[in-house]
Amino acid sequence: MAKGWESKSVESQMESAGEKAPKPQEQRSEEQKQIQREVQSLELSRKYILHQMESATNERYKQSLQQALHELDQKLAKLDGHQK
């Protein structure tokens, strides 16, 4: 009988703790989640381009990578304005 009482107590404590602390993921809208995923994708692409620039030897390829990096930075800046 004591065991049943303990499990009920633990269960009620867990429920009350869940009510007090809102989950941050639930608070974000679907649009915010989509923007966050896009930002993460762009940042990953940016890291890849930077890595490619370090090892590139062809000057025209480097210029192409520089242009791609500039475009990614513009997209990231635009999305950063939407997040705030």
Q: In which domain, by residue range, is 68 found? A: 58-84
Q: Residue 81 has what pLDDT? A: 80
Provide the domain count of the chain.
Answer: 1
The C-alpha angle 71, 76, 80, rounded to 5 degrees, equals: 150
Cβ contact 40:24 at 8 Å: no
Distance CA 33, CA 16 (A): 27
In a domain, 52, yes or no: no
In a domain, 66, yes or no: yes
In a domain, 16, yes or no: no
Distance CA 83, CA 10 (A): 39
- pTM exceeds 0.85: no
Q: Band the pLDDT of 1: cuts 50, 70, 90.
A: very low
3-46 pLDDT tens trace: 555 555 666 666 666 555 555 555 678 888 999 999 999 999 99
In a domain, 36, yes or no: no
Token duo for residue 30: 């679907």
In a domain, 83, yes or no: yes
In a domain, 53, yes or no: no
In a domain, 22, yes or no: no
